[in-house]
Structure 1
Amino acid sequence: MTNLQEIKTLEAGISVILCTYNGADKLPQTIKALAQQQVPPEIPWEIIFIDNNSSDNSSEIATASWEALSEKLDVPFISLSETIPGKYYALNKGLRNAKFSYFIIVDDDNWLNPNYVAQAFKSIDGRPEIGAIGSRTEAAFEADNPRDPVWLNKKPERFAIGEQGSDGDVTYRKHLWGAGLVSRTELYLRIYDKYPSFLIDYSTKNILVVEDTEYCLRLILRGFRLYYASELKLFHFVPNERLTKEYWTKLNSNIDRSFEVIDVYYMAVKVYSDKYKNPLLLLRLKLLTHLRFRTRTGIKKQRQRILLGLLFPESAYNTPLIDAVRRFIQDDELPRNTTTME
C-alpha cells in the first residue's frame, strides 16, 4: 500500500477508471463511447482498464477494441489486472496508477456521451470544495428486452438510473452512484490509504457493494460537497438477466446488508453536522436519543444505539466501527474542506 508521503501532486487532467469482471461482451460498446470522446487538446486524459479477476477474455477484448478505434487518438490506454475480487480493489488499483488529478469511474456497462470527459474536467477544475460530481443516467436495453418490470420504474436509482437532484449542491442526498462519478484522485488516495474501506474491515457479512456510498459519506464527513451536473450524461446498459425478480431480490439484499456499516456513517453525518455544534441542540439530541432508544424497535432502535455510541464514546454503546469512524472524522492528517459553495 502506498505511503501517504509517496502520494505526489498530480497533473491536471482526467483519468478514466474502467473496471470489469467478466465484461467481455459489454466492453466493446463501452470502449467505443470512450473513443468517441471530444476532448480539447488542453485537457490531457487517459484510460486505465482493470480486469478484476475475470475468467473470460476481458483484457484481450478491451485492448483489441481500443486499438481498433483509436488510431488517431493520442490517449494512453493502460491495462492492469487485480486478482482480489471486488470493485473496491480494482478501483484502488486503477487510482494508484493514475497520472491525473481527477478521475471518472466508468463501469463496463456505461456509455458516456461524447462531451463527458471534457465536461467533467470543466465542472470540477478550480472548485476545491467539490468532492464528487454525479451524472444523469439513462437506461439502455437489449433489442429483445421484456417489458420493464415494475421495480425498475419505482426505484430506478437502485440500478443507478435517472437524475440525482437539481443541478448544483446535492450534499443533502448523502450519496451519488458510482457510474460516471467524477472526483479527485489524490483525495481518494489520501482517504483510503490510511483508512481502508470499513465495509471490509468492520463487516461480518463480506459486503463488497455500495463502495460509492461509503466514499461519498467520507467526503461529507471531511467537509467536501457533493454536486450534480445534468450535462454529464451516460447510458447504463441493463441486460435482460438484470430485469428478473431474482436479480432484483439479490440486489436489494446486498444493499440492505451494507447498512450494518453504512448506518454508522449516516448517523455520524448527523451528529457531526453544523447543527449540533450548538451545545443546547446537542444536549437535546442526547436526551432524545436516550428516550427513543427505550421506545423504538428493530432498525430504528439499532440506529438510536449507533447514535448513543457516537454521542457517548465512553459508553457501552460504542463499538470498534463507531470508534474508527470517529477517528476518521477527527484525523488532522487527512484533507478537510473549509470553504463553502458559491
Structure 2
Amino acid sequence: MQPIISVIICTYNPRADYFKQVLNELACQSLPLAAWELLVIDNASKLAVESAWSLDWHPQGRIIREETAGLTAARLRGHQEAQGEILVFVDDDNLLNHEYLADVQRIFQQHPQLGAIGGRSKPRFETAPEPWMAEFYKVLALRDFGPEAQISERYATGETIEYPDFAPAGIGLGIRRDVFGAYVEHMQHDAARLALGRTGKKLTSGEDNDIVLTVMSQGWQIGYFPSLEVIHLISADRLERDYLARLNEAATRSWVQVLGMHNLQVWSPIAPWTVLPRKIKAFFTYGAWRNAAAYVRWRGACGLYEALAST
C-alpha cells in the first residue's frame, strides 16, 4: 500500500531528549502506520543519526543521509525520497498532536484548492522566558491565529500577492507533493533561493516564505487550521538575548530578500556605503543600549539595511 502522507524530519545533530519525544509523539498518531511513511533526513550530523536511532517501530520508516549541508538541501532530498501524495515537514523539536496526520489528510480532501496548510505552534520552554521576550515569539515560529480556520485568497498568475499573516511556517507544514515539486522546479537552479534556510549554526531563514509565495503564485490557496497543533520545544540557549538578536536580524534580512525574489519589494534599495551609518543612527533611535528588547529590535533594523544594500 502506497502511503498517503510522507512525514519528513530534517535534522542536524539532534538533541537526544528532544528527538526521542518527537518520535514518541509520532508513534502515537491516530492515522494507521500503513497510511504514512516516516523519512528522517540526516543533514550531515557529526554523529550519524542511523548509528544512534532506530525506526524499527515504523514499517515505512527510513533514515536517509544527506551530505549537502542546509535545511533547503534536506527538504529537497525529502521530496525526492517521498512516496506520499502529501508531505508534512517536522523539525526535530516539534511534537505533533495525536490527530495531526489524520487532520492533514481530512483537510486536503475537503479543500482541493489548498496547496499548503499549517496551524498553531505552542511553546514548551526549557527555562521560563523573561516577559520582554514575548515580542519576539514570532521569530521562534510560535503562532496562534485563533480558533477559526482561515483560508487565503486565490491569485491568478501575475497578480500581486498579499502575504497572509496566518501563512504556514515550516513547523508542521503540510503541502501537496506535486505543489512542492513545482516549488522545487522554480528554485533548484537559483543560487539565491537555494541559499535560504539554515545551514549549521547560520540562522538564515526565508525558505518558508519562499515556499508560501511560490504556492500562491501558482494559483493555490494556503490555509490555517487550529486543529493542527504543534508543541515547539524551546531550549534555554534560544532565549538568550544575543541568540534572539541574531535570529531577528537574519529573519528580517531573509524576509526582504524573499520579497525581492518575488518582485514584491516594498522598500527602495540603498547604497552599500550607507549601511554602517544607518546602523549607527538606528542604534541611538532604538536606544539599543537601554534594554534587551531594544537591542533585539535594533538588530532587526540592521538586517533590513543589509538586505536593502544587496538588492
* TM-score (norm. length: structure 2): 0.73
| One-letter identity of the residue aligned with 1:241 | D
> Are 1:251 and 2:243 matched, yes or no?
no
Deviation at 1:31, TM superposition (A): 0.5
Question: What CA distance in whole angstroms lies between the structure 1 residues aligned with 2:149 and 2:261?
Answer: 25
Question: What CA distance in whole angstroms lies between the structure 1 residues aligned with 2:90 and 2:132?
Answer: 24
Question: What CA distance in whole angstroms lies between the structure 2 residues aligned with 1:204 and 1:134?
Answer: 20
Q: Which deviations, in whole Å up to 9, do the C-alpha atoms of 1:20-52 show, x marking residues without a partner?
A: 0111422111101111111147x7100011000
Q: Within 5 Å, which residues of 2 pair with 1:143-182?
A: 145=127, 147-164=128-145, 166-170=148-152, 172-173=163-164, 175-182=167-174
> Are 1:84 and 2:68 matched, yes or no?
yes
Name which of structure 1's ranges 133-142 and 123-132 shifts more when overlaid on structure 2: 123-132
Q: Residues 202, 59 of structure 1: CA spacing in aligned structure 2 closer, same or farther, 3 A cutoff?
A: closer
Give the aligned partner of residue 87 of structure 2.
103
Deviation at 1:136, TM superposition (A): 0.7
Question: What CA distance in whole angstroms lies between the structure 1 residues aligned with 2:172 and 2:133?
Answer: 20
* Conservation of the 8 A alpha-carbon contact between 2:66 and 2:74: yes
Deviation at 1:95, TM superposition (A): 1.0
Q: Residues 55, 161 of structure 1: CA spacing in aligned structure 2 closer, same or farther, 3 A cutoff?
A: same
* Conservation of the 8 A alpha-carbon contact between 2:42 and 2:48: no
> Are 1:62 and 2:53 matched, yes or no?
yes
Name which of structure 1's ranges 124-133 and 75-84 shifts more when overlaid on structure 2: 124-133
Question: What CA distance in whole angstroms lies between the structure 2 residues aligned with 1:159 and 1:123?
Answer: 26
Q: Deviation above 4 Å: which 4+ runs of structure 1?
A: 201-208
* Conservation of the 8 A alpha-carbon contact between 1:110 and 1:237: yes
Give the aligned partner of residue 238 of structure 1.
234
Give the aligned partner of residue 302 of structure 1.
269
SS in 2 for 1:16: strand
Give the aligned partner of residue 217 of structure 1.
213
- Give the CA RMSD over aligned residues: 3.0
Deviation at 1:209, TM superposition (A): 1.6
Give the aligned partner of residue 278 of structure 2.
none
Deviation at 1:169, TM superposition (A): 0.6
| One-letter identity of the residue aligned with 2:5 | I
| One-letter identity of the residue aligned with 1:238 | I
Q: Residues 57, 40 of structure 1: CA spacing in aligned structure 2 closer, same or farther, 3 A cutoff?
A: closer
Give the aligned partner of residue 38 of structure 2.
47
Question: What CA distance in whole angstroms lies between the structure 1 residues aligned with 2:109 and 2:187?
Answer: 26
* Conservation of the 8 A alpha-carbon contact between 1:139 and 1:236: yes
Question: What CA distance in whole angstroms lies between the structure 2 residues aligned with 1:54 and 1:256?
Answer: 27
Q: Residues 186, 154 of structure 1: CA spacing in aligned structure 2 closer, same or farther, 3 A cutoff?
A: same
Deviation at 1:151, TM superposition (A): 4.6
Which structure's CA Rg is the greater one?
Answer: 1
Q: Which deviations, in whole Å up to 9, do the C-alpha atoms of 1:271-301 show, x marking residues without a partner?
A: xxxxxxxxxxxxxxxxxxxxxxxxxxxx732
Give the aligned partner of residue 336 of structure 1.
none
Question: What CA distance in whole angstroms lies between the structure 1 residues aligned with 2:196 and 2:184?
Answer: 20
Question: What CA distance in whole angstroms lies between the structure 1 residues aligned with 2:87 and 2:14?
Answer: 21
Give the aligned partner of residue 307 of structure 1.
none
* TM-score (norm. length: structure 1): 0.67
Q: Which deviations, in whole Å up to 9, do the C-alpha atoms of 1:94-139 show, x marking residues without a partner?
A: 1111111001110000001111111111111253311111111110
* Conservation of the 8 A alpha-carbon contact between 2:151 and 2:224: yes
* Conservation of the 8 A alpha-carbon contact between 1:137 and 1:161: yes
Give the aligned partner of residue 34 of structure 1.
26
| One-letter identity of the residue aligned with 1:140 | R
| One-letter identity of the residue aligned with 2:27 | A
* Conservation of the 8 A alpha-carbon contact between 1:20 and 1:52: yes
Deviation at 1:267, TM superposition (A): 4.4
Question: What CA distance in whole angstroms lies between the structure 1 residues aligned with 2:90 and 2:115?
Answer: 17
Question: What CA distance in whole angstroms lies between the structure 2 residues aligned with 1:164 and 1:267?
Answer: 27
| One-letter identity of the residue aligned with 1:168 | Q
* Conservation of the 8 A alpha-carbon contact between 2:196 and 2:204: no
> Are 1:119 and 2:103 matched, yes or no?
yes
